[in-house]
Amino acid sequence: MSRDLTTLFDPKSVAIIGATDDTSKYGNWIAIRALRGARPVHLVNPRRSTVLGRPTVPDLRTLGEPVDLAVIAVNASRFEDAVDDALVAGVTALVGISAGLGEAGAEGRIRQERLAERIRGAGASLLGPNCLGVLDHTTGLELTSNDLPAGRVALISQSGNIALEIAELGADHGVGFSRFASLGNQADLEVADLVEACALHEGTDAIAVYAEDFRDGRRFIAAATEAARLGKPVVLLAVGRGSASARGAASHTGAMVSSGVVVEAACRAAGVELVSTPTQLVHLLQGLALPRTVRGRAVAVFADGGGQASVASDCVEDAGMAVEEFSSTLRVAVAADLPPAAGLSNPVDVAGGGEQDIGCFPRVLATLTGSAEVDTVVMTGYFGGYGGYSPELGAGELEAAHRIAEVVGAGDKPVVVQTMNHRSAAADILRAARVPVYRSIEDAVWTLRRIVARSVPAGAAPLPPAAAPLIDTGYMQARRVLAEAGLPFVEAVEVTSREQLLATSPALRYPLVLKALGDEHKSDRGGVVLGLPDAGAVLAAYDGLQVRLAPPAVSVEEMADLTGAVELIVGGRWDPRFGPVVLVGLGGVYTEVLRDVRCALGPLDAVAARRLLLDLRGAPLLTGARGRPPIDLDAAADVVACLSTFAAAHPEIAEIECNPVAAGPSGAVCLDARIVLADQQDPSAELKPEQKEQD
């Protein structure tokens, strides 16, 4: 259930616990900004009668009037007392600036968890601790140590310095912020709470998030999916794709970082735009501010220089979009506003037309955006610099910028602008009208590609009820429980002696396969013997396994018909933040070599599983490349869906895998199975395609 954060972003009154005249402390910086606003601000300092020329109180209990929100900026040793004082005084929202709690080790985490429970029990909420504060430009609330430019993007950040870098980049690129919440240690309020609140905020058009730890990842997905449904896209800058960044995040916030593979899967489910740097985040926010969507991949390149027209066209096509030649009708319409030497076929090159008639830019742009042949326009070149030639041309350029803004605002197609004069007055006019402007063409086209690729998020499917926990997960037991769940396997029996082998193998259909059990890498060690045509061959193979490996048991299995089959890996793991994660890929002994895998949050239905399979680079092998018969995709998708549902009902499973799954033209069958429980797992294990048991 969503939490009411009204008093966090729009309190009637505020208290600064730890307010001080010491200009080196947060209690000073935040108090100064708090006093700029119109709401009552109470300064709390037991050692000073005045701070910043204003009277103080020693504590909130002696204040004698209600306070909605308290900012706590005291040493960690005094933090607990400050929380108690605020709760007794009836405060319902707390912002913990203080560091030295959950990020400071086991003892600090215990103190922090105890405090968070007390705060929630009192019906209050805590932002932080170890955070930079909170801000809401729409309500005039400034409780941060630094200024952020005003705008319509909500910024939620677990790192104070990353937030400040994003704010600086935003100021350079015309991106401002409606709200800012510094997550810090997320002792109480977590990223999902803030996304939910900002998605419902009328002053917010998009939500930017920097996160190192998602606490409840499924809640984050639900919140981000709902934000996208409300037209408020979420852009996420997340760390943990590399081991060093994950260590760094854990060291300074005490965060447990989900692997990059899992975060990517979560973002796909929720329609979250995942980026790698603060610069990418701000560039994408510019593009997402466009109040319209892209209907297709047909791009018109509109330039005031032949070189830039060619470079931009190459960038667009390299990004998977099309710069298609215009029809004669559109070429004639464009030519009406340009000199005879202009390029008209796409890209459009004004060929000096800007100096002769700066008004050609909005007129040509109106023609392009009004054409059914064009889905979006990339305008590239020198626009914004013409004022350097003459005052008259400069004035005309500003007028042209206003008219471009009107054209874009009146139309229904996105326009992305790249100009070497991106900090000009003309560029500022465009940005103010929510037309994204970039310094480099690669940034402009990268942003456009991301906008074109956006789709409606499906969200994450609900988890099924938990099943009875598994206890024994050996090879044969794993096969049995998965077969009972609906996964198809070939017939098999386990034997521990020659006598059992002789007694049971005649009931199976030849040819047979022998697998030495108890060896995770049995195929590499010669522990899998294929194609045994009769009882004599089976007995000889069994004796050979005993000599070479002396396995405690052997699985005797019917050999699947692999004619026209493609070997797949189907597996997954349980992520402590996001729950079940499903992996599919090209499998068999070359899984690790090919590394062609895709992941998604589980559970998946057959439709979603089919989409995941078709997203593989090797998907043409599944659909009939170079005369191969196509595999039964429905059967393969059923295997993925069935395994994902089983795994989702068993949170005690750390890893699960069927590799290979033989997917052929007439069905799919699992040829191996492996289940590892959480208490059996190597704590350093990652979700990646490793070479496991193979046939």
pLDDT band at 464 (very low <50, low <70, confident <90, very high): very high
Average pLDDT value for residue range 516-523: 75
**Beta carbons within 8 Å of 522's beta carbon, 6+ residues apart:** 515, 516, 528, 549, 551, 693, 694
Residue 640 phi/psi, 5-degree rounding, is: -60, -45
Would you state the pLDDT for residue 472?
A: 85
Is-same-fold flag (148-289; 491-558)?
no
Instruction: Specify the residue for token string 């046939």.
Output: 695
What is the percentage of the chain residues whose pLDDT exceeds 90?
80
H or E element: which one contains 235? strand 234-238
- Of 102 and 37, the structure prediction assigns the larger pLDDT to 37
Average pLDDT value for residue range 459-480: 93
H or E element: which one contains 396? helix 391-410
Q: By the 8 A CB rule, do 390 and 422 touch?
A: no
Does 244 score more than 70 pLDDT?
no
The architecture of the domain spanning 461-490+561-695 is 2-Layer Sandwich (3.30)
Tell me the pLDDT tens digit for each residue of 536-587.
Answer: 999 999 999 999 999 999 999 999 988 889 999 999 999 999 999 999 999 8
What is the percentage of the chain residues whose pLDDT exceeds 70?
93
Would you state the pLDDT for residue 102?
A: 83
Here the tokens at position 172 are 């350079």
Q: How far apart are CA 60 and CA 317, in angstroms?
A: 63
Does 254 score more than 50 pLDDT?
no
Does 359 score more than 70 pLDDT?
yes
- Of 588 and 304, the structure prediction assigns the larger pLDDT to 304
Out of 3.40.50.720, 3.40.50.12280, 3.30.70.240, 3.30.43.10, which CATH number does the structure's domain 1-132 have? 3.40.50.720
pTM for this one?
A: 0.88
Nearest to 373 by CA among 418, 311, 329: 329
Tell me the pLDDT tens digit for each residue of 46-65.
Answer: 999 999 999 999 999 999 89
Tell me the pLDDT tens digit for each residue of 59-109.
Answer: 999 998 999 999 999 999 999 999 999 999 999 999 999 988 988 888 889
Does 685 score more than 60 pLDDT?
no
Looking at the DSSP bridge assignments, the partners of residue 450 are none
In the chain, where are the structural domains located? 1-132, 148-289, 299-452, 461-490+561-695, 491-558
Sheet holding 512-516, edge to edge: 492-495, 554-558, 512-516, 528-532
- Lowest-pLDDT choice from 195-204, 475-484, 582-591: 582-591
Per CATH, the homologous superfamily of domain 299-452 is: Succinyl-CoA synthetase domains (3.40.50.261)
Statement: 148-289 belongs to CATH 3.40.190.290: no
Looking at the DSSP bridge assignments, the partners of residue 125 are 93
Would you state the pLDDT for residue 143?
A: 98
Does 3 score more than 60 pLDDT?
yes
As assigned by CATH, the class of the 491-558 domain is alpha beta
Does 687 score more than 80 pLDDT?
no
Would you state the pLDDT for residue 524?
A: 65
> What average pLDDT is seen over the chain?
91
pLDDT band at 454 (very low <50, low <70, confident <90, very high): confident
Would you state the pLDDT for residue 243?
A: 54
H or E element: which one contains 93? strand 93-96
Instruction: Specify the residue for token string 């500022």.
Output: 428
pLDDT band at 596 (very low <50, low <70, confident <90, very high): confident
Tell me the pLDDT tens digit for each residue of 138-155.
Answer: 999 999 999 999 999 999
Tell me the pLDDT tens digit for each residue of 266-320.
Answer: 999 999 999 999 999 999 999 997 766 678 899 999 999 899 999 999 999 999 9
Tell me the pLDDT tens digit for each residue of 337-357.
Answer: 999 989 999 999 998 778 888
Average pLDDT value for residue range 629-649: 97
Does 125 score more than 90 pLDDT?
yes
Q: How far apart are CA 212 and CA 184, in angstroms?
A: 10
Does 658 score more than 90 pLDDT?
yes
The pairing of strands 667-670 and 597-601 is unpaired
Does 255 score more than 50 pLDDT?
no
Would you state the pLDDT for residue 289?
A: 77
Q: Which amino acid is at 547?
A: V
pLDDT band at 661 (very low <50, low <70, confident <90, very high): very high
* 117-131 residues labelled b (16+ CB within 10 A) or e (exposed): eebeebebbbbbbbb
pLDDT band at 241 (very low <50, low <70, confident <90, very high): low
Would you state the pLDDT for residue 690?
A: 36
